[in-house]
Amino acid sequence: MATNNADLPHNLMAFVNDPVSEQIIMNVVKEMNLAYAEAKQGKIADIVEFMKTSRTPKVLIADISDSELPLGDINKIKEFSAPNINIIVIGTRNDVGLFRDLMNMGVSDYIVKPLNNVILRKTLEDALNNKKTIVEKSGKLINVISSVGGAGATTVAANIAWLLANVHFKRTLLMDMDFLFGTANLLLDLKAENAYLDIIESPDKIDDYFVETILKKSSNRLYYLGGLCDLVRGIVVDLEAFEALMNLIKKQFNYVIVDSQREVTSVTRVGMNKSEIFIIMVEMSLASAQNTARILEFFNADQAGKKIIIVANKVGMSSNGALSREAFEKVIGRKINYSIPFDEVSALASANIGQPLAASGGSIVEVLEDITNDIMGKNESLAIENAINEKEGLSMDVIKDKVLDFISKIK
């Protein structure tokens, strides 16, 4: 799939609150002969709206001159940005404390107005070349795996990806790791792109532009990556190429949802090692319980410390030999986190029209939304926010320290 200019992100997007700053920025853009660059007058709300509906620019200039809560506003912008964004903040406060706080949040630089052509140009050059990147910025990789065939890993992976992109405005990639019989693309009404297979067999092809050309776009913020190899020839994955690809896409996307395989191979292990969260899809059967226990034992040894979410699918479906929830949890040695009710009609209808269940509403979607919020850490975020708000008599410095500590822990 060729990438047209409309799909490319801005090299620079600037929102300022005065015409003088706008003109200086555009003068520097012309001096640098920088393509795909734009400056306009706007406030924080305009930046957030732009980030929700557009590709994340390589460099964003945000003016906080009128902001009452600059740290909160910058964090709000980062919520809707890809991980690899470079943010340059400009404002009127010549405050060392504010500068330090912004830098701790991962901002590339803070410039006090009025803007200076020389300083602005140097700051832009550094940001475009990532010379001032303080921390390695990376999105979250979520690995979804079924304990038995048909447990719903593909369905849940596709729906979570859809919710992240279309409800929460996160730049999201759905990645299919089944090179033989992958079907994740069908749930998004997309064609599998076999150029993907070329890239993971050739380490010399891994770069930003080549990866952009093989992504299939489902919606403004949702992309798909997958391919089906020839069943006779098969595929020989270059592990160096595959690992480089995984590193690259984690920098380009807020969330990478991997529809994985049960087989533990050198390829799937690379994906596992890059994952922050595992979702294990289970059915209420003895076979599923046995496999889940083994998968958990493996994760405990090979992926210790990572978050694991157990999701029971098709709950309520009549089946001979089905286990009770209590019996299932006793076998696996831990609780099931979420239960998706059985609704075969909705699932089949969704698959046939190439539309995720999440787009239709209903009880299943409520569970999927709960899982998505868990992945995003929204429950923890709300708990911390409420705890701070409920504390009476805290000094502003203490509250500020708590907020900054929380901000530093989220991406």
| 253-271 pLDDT tens trace | 999 999 998 888 999 999 9
What is the predicted pLDDT for the residue at 206? 73
d(CA 139, CA 380): 18
What is the predicted pLDDT for the residue at 407? 52
CATH number (1.10.357.10, 3.30.1330.60, 3.40.30.120, 3.40.50.300) of 140-376 reads 3.40.50.300
d(CA 326, CA 393): 46
With 0-12 / 13-18 / 19 or more C-beta atoms within 10 angstroms meaning exposed / middle / buried, residue 191 is middle
Do 140-376 and 5-128 have the same topology in CATH? yes
pTM over 0.85: no
Q: Where are the domains of the chain?
A: 5-128, 140-376, 381-409
What is the predicted pLDDT for the residue at 2? 40
Q: Are 160 and 371 in contact (CB under 8 A)?
A: yes
Residue 63: phi and psi, rounded to 5, are -95, 120
CATH number (2.60.40.10, 3.40.50.2300, 3.40.50.970, 3.30.1330.10) of 5-128 reads 3.40.50.2300
Contacts of 297 by beta carbon, 8 Å cutoff, 6+ apart: none
d(CA 227, CA 211): 13
What is the predicted pLDDT for the residue at 348? 65
What is the predicted pLDDT for the residue at 315? 86
What is the predicted pLDDT for the residue at 395? 43
DSSP string, 174-222: EEE--TTT--GGGGGT----THHHHHTT-GGG-SHHHHHHHPEESSSSE
Below-70 pLDDT ranges, the chain: 1-8, 131-137, 203, 205, 208-210, 318-321, 344-355, 361-362, 379-411
Q: Which amino acid is at 381?
A: S
What is the predicted pLDDT for the residue at 385? 46
C-beta neighbour count of 94 within 10 angstroms: 10
Q: Are 69 and 90 in contact (CB under 8 A)?
A: no
